[in-house]
Amino acid sequence: MSNDTIDTDRDLVLARLIDAPPEAVYRCWTEPALMTQWFAPKPWSTPRATVDLRVGGGNVVVMADEAGNEYPNPGQYLEIVPNKKLVFTDAYVGDWKPSAKPFFTCTLTFENEGGKTRYTAVARHWNKEDKEAHEKMGFHEGWGLVAAQLEEVAKGL
């Protein structure tokens, strides 16, 4: 997603240069065993993840707080370009079954930049209020921390 398509009223953007090739970063986003190693910002954890990696396929990533309370995050893949792009949403929970309350659609791009990955995450919200709520929840801090955790896992692949 290029910068000219960013909607400043509804989108939150995180961009990083990750010291790992796009194939490794993509694997971290698509393989449950890897997702559980980095997905939740520490000290939270990711006890489990399920992935049905196909357009229309569902995914559930479960995050847990320090007390062990679990927060499942179901979604569905909308676009998959291996090693280059993933688009998913919480508007559906798999096989086009609507979710209770859609919040955002995420576009991830993985661009090769000298053997590293130009990693861009665009969280597009349904409305300005949802964007502001996500920002107040700590989008930039949380997704930034998680990007660093993602980089550590990807570098080891």
**What is the DSSP track for 117-130?**
EEEEEEEEESSHHH
CA distance 3 to 1: 7
Residue 4 lies in a domain: no
Is the omega angle on the peptide bond into residue 21 within 30 degrees of 0, that is, cis?
no
Strand spans (E) along 90-143: 104-113, 116-125
pLDDT at 87: 98
**One-letter amino acid identity for 142?**
G
Name the strand (E) or helix (H) holding 139.
helix 139-155
Q: Which of 108, 98, 38 is nearest to 74 (CA)?
A: 98
Q: pLDDT band at residue 140, thresholds of 50, 70 and 90?
A: very high
Residues 91, 98, 69: CA angle, nearest 5 degrees: 70
Mean per-residue pLDDT, 132-156: 96
pLDDT at 94: 96
Q: Which domain holds residue 104?
A: 9-155
CB 54 within 8 A of CB 77: yes
Is residue 157's pLDDT more than 70?
Answer: yes
If one counts every other C-beta atom within 10 angstroms of the C-beta of residue 64, the result is: 16
Residue 32 lies in a domain: yes
CATH code assigned at 117:
3.30.530.20
What's the number of domains the chain is made of? 1
Q: pLDDT band at residue 5, thresholds of 50, 70 and 90?
A: confident
Residue 1 lies in a domain: no
Residue 146 lies in a domain: yes
Residue 34 lies in a domain: yes
Residue in this structure with the two tokens 């300005």, named with its chain if needed:
128
Is residue 3's pLDDT more than 90?
Answer: no
pLDDT digits (tens, 9 = 90+) for 35-64: 999 999 999 999 999 999 999 999 999 999
Query: What does the mean pLDDT of the chain come to?
Result: 96
What is this structure's pTM? Answer: 0.94
CA distance 31 to 25: 10
CA distance 38 to 29: 10
pLDDT at 91: 97
Is residue 4's pLDDT more than 80?
Answer: no
pLDDT at 137: 93
Residue 98 lies in a domain: yes
Q: For residue 101, what are its two tokens? A: 């309350």
CB 116 within 8 A of CB 17: yes
Residue 55 lies in a domain: yes
Residue 46 lies in a domain: yes
pLDDT digits (tens, 9 = 90+) for 81-134: 999 999 999 999 999 999 999 999 999 999 999 999 999 999 999 999 999 999
